[in-house]
Amino acid sequence: MSAEATNPEAHPEARPELRRRGRSRIDLRRLGRAALLGPTSRDRLPDAIGHVAEAHRAHHPDADMSILRRAYLLAESSHRGQMRKSGEPYITHPLAVTLILAELGAETTTLTASLLHDTVEDTDVTLDQVRAEFGDEVCFIVDGVTKVEKIDYGAAAEPETFRKMLVATGNDVRVMSIKLADRLHNMRTLGVMRPEKQARIAKVTRDVLIPLAERLGVQALKTELEDLVFAILHPEEYESTRALIAAHAGERDPLPGIADSVRTVLREAGISAEVQVRPRHFVSVHRIARQRGELRGSDFGRILVLVGENADCYGVLGELHTCFTPVVSEFKDFIATPKFNLYQSLHTAVATPEGYVAEVIVRTRQMHRVAEAGVVALGNPYATATPDATADPDEERVDPTRPGWLSRLLDWQQSAPDPDTFWTVLRAELAQDREITVFRADGGTLGLPAGASCIDAAYAQHGEAAHGCIGARVNGRLTSLSSALSDGDTVQLLLAQDASSGPAAEWLDHARTPAARIAISSWLEAHPDRAMATTTAARAPLSVVGARGGGANAVADLPDATVRLAGCCTPVPPDAVAGFLVRGGAVTVHRIHCAAVAQMRAVGRTSVAVHWRATADCRVTLLAESFGRPHLLADLTEAIAHEGVEVVSATVEPPVEGRVRHTYTLQLPDAAGLPALMRAMRDVPGVYDVSRA
């Protein structure tokens, strides 16, 4: 089933692979009427699932069909006498759902569970019977689908509805595959329901099921669901788009000619490739029309090039950009940087001499299969796992193919404090359309949504311990926690040793992941006094002044002159210094390399020779750069006192993006102790730099 070709008959050349297999394309929309087509012998498949068997063998030639025969016979006998609202025998529904999955390449276990997915809920068949007849794996999937089927889709129940759906999907992604195929067939036959019920089901499909199909990479289901929802919720725009496509069908289509030119170019270059024309589906045409206004013939489809190896994709790209005029702004490399839903392809656009611009997608055949079917194409993710007979059937299983976004949702949904918070954050998470991977300092990786900050990385790696995060190094450089991360960054998170440390309220402005936002909000609610303190805006700098201020220990060769140590460079023994006479007869002393020395000489200030007294004590001003955290001023002051140094004055500036600057004027008993003092201050957790003022 094509992810884009809503009307494939308009472009028969778009499906040459089906002709090579020697079979015609199955019309999935009419399959539901292909029920019980007569008796069958015990040694062959019933005629009613002949299409399913044919589609399954196309992807899995060696598959054992006997289990499908047994599943069909159980489903047919269980549903016998039941009818759909459309008037068809109920067995036509599981048959249609199973064929949709078979066309996508689902493995036998998924198809077996699909045939039986309504038996436990709607008939007398029990899970124990399913387990005894078909094994634990099929039983597990059927049970998961049954739990999803019992969900109430009413507006008031939406949050808990989708919480259950996420858990079922997390337990086995094949559960959601069956649910999506089930919803697709129901949407195809929705015409028998009242308009208001059609609209309600279509809205649920639009808000959650289509984003989940996108996240799972099942584009073939997602695009058709989009068209069906479009027709129900926006009938006028749908009709307008349908008329636009119908009008185009009667005109000359330039895409087949462009495809022939591409085939010729690749053949001459010695690249073995299959070139197809892929018509856009209705919603895609509608979006393009809104973006570009009047559409040209090449806007109604795209060219798909399928090759054997990854390297061939870039070879094709080189030939296209050499022999055609490339549209550079349209190039995207999803092979080097795959999308979060497993999608890989090269996207480009080329202009022809006739003035047409054609979009081209280049991918391998395996990439194409995954692009169409997503997680369905991955088969059984638990095939290599050793079954545990003692495992709790309700316990979550580890899925080696589980996407990072799904793992994140499963992690935070358990701690969501209330349904409204869960619902708000779920919709925000599903709205994310890109994911990045960042590397941890220990060599591991973190999957995060695009736009995530160091705060998100902290909670993804450390959980609630991230409350004590005081800073981060990104690619080796110190940065604030609010800094946004990019794909491929290496992040090292710095945690405070103080267990009482907590997040600031402004962290919520930079947190993008549900786990981070929920954890921060919960901590702030539990510590309202601390939360209030962290939100105090633009407070004045805090100053602490010592009990006495010692005199300068520099002597000028000018009798009775007052000597002042310059605050710009704070010289201390044994620094090389220079003195200059300023207004009031005072002499200011600078380090010889201070920028002010050149300025003094340039304006003609009188130079005065100065030297240090024999005493070893001195006064110095130090700047301590740190990440903001509680008790930092107290810890720094304690470290200074431990070195036997007196604090003359201290100033703490308001935090800026989580960083704080402390300015200390200190009286040292011995200038030789200055390096040790600066090291002691740097060792205080949260301090990342100490320098002379």
CA nearest 49: which of 83, 14, 92?
92
- DSSP assignment string, 218-275: -HHHHHHHHHHHHHHH-HHHHHHHHHHHHHHHTS--SHHHHHHHHHHHHHHTT---EE
Residue 494: in which H helix or E strand, if any?
Answer: strand 490-495
The single-letter code of the amino acid at 537 is A
Pick the catalytic residue: 9, 27, 121, 525?
121
CB 493 within 8 A of CB 457: yes
CB 481 within 8 A of CB 455: yes
Give the chain's end-to-end CA distance (angstroms, integer): 70
What distance in Å separates the CA atoms of residue 125 and residue 70, rounded to the nearest whole number?
A: 14
Cβ-Cβ contacts under 8 Å for 38 (sequence gap 6 or more): 47
71 beta partners: none
What distance in Å separates the CA atoms of residue 587 and residue 578, rounded to the nearest whole number?
A: 10
Tell me the C-alpha to C-alpha distance, in Å, between residue 89 and each of 34, 149, 150: 10, 20, 22
CA nearest 325: which of 361, 349, 308, 343?
349
Pick the catalytic residue: 13, 54, 122, 617?
122
621 beta partners: 665
Cis link prior to 256 (omega < 30° from 0)? no
Tell me the C-alpha to C-alpha distance, in Å, between residue 301 and each of 254, 288, 323, 361: 10, 11, 21, 11
- Widest CA span in the chain: 123
17 in active site: no
CA nearest 229: which of 202, 207, 208?
202
- DSSP assignment string, 402-462: --HHHHHHHHHHTT-SSHHHHHHHHHHHHH---EEEEEETTS-EEEEETT-BHHHHHHHHH
122 in active site: yes
Catalytic residue IDs: 121-122
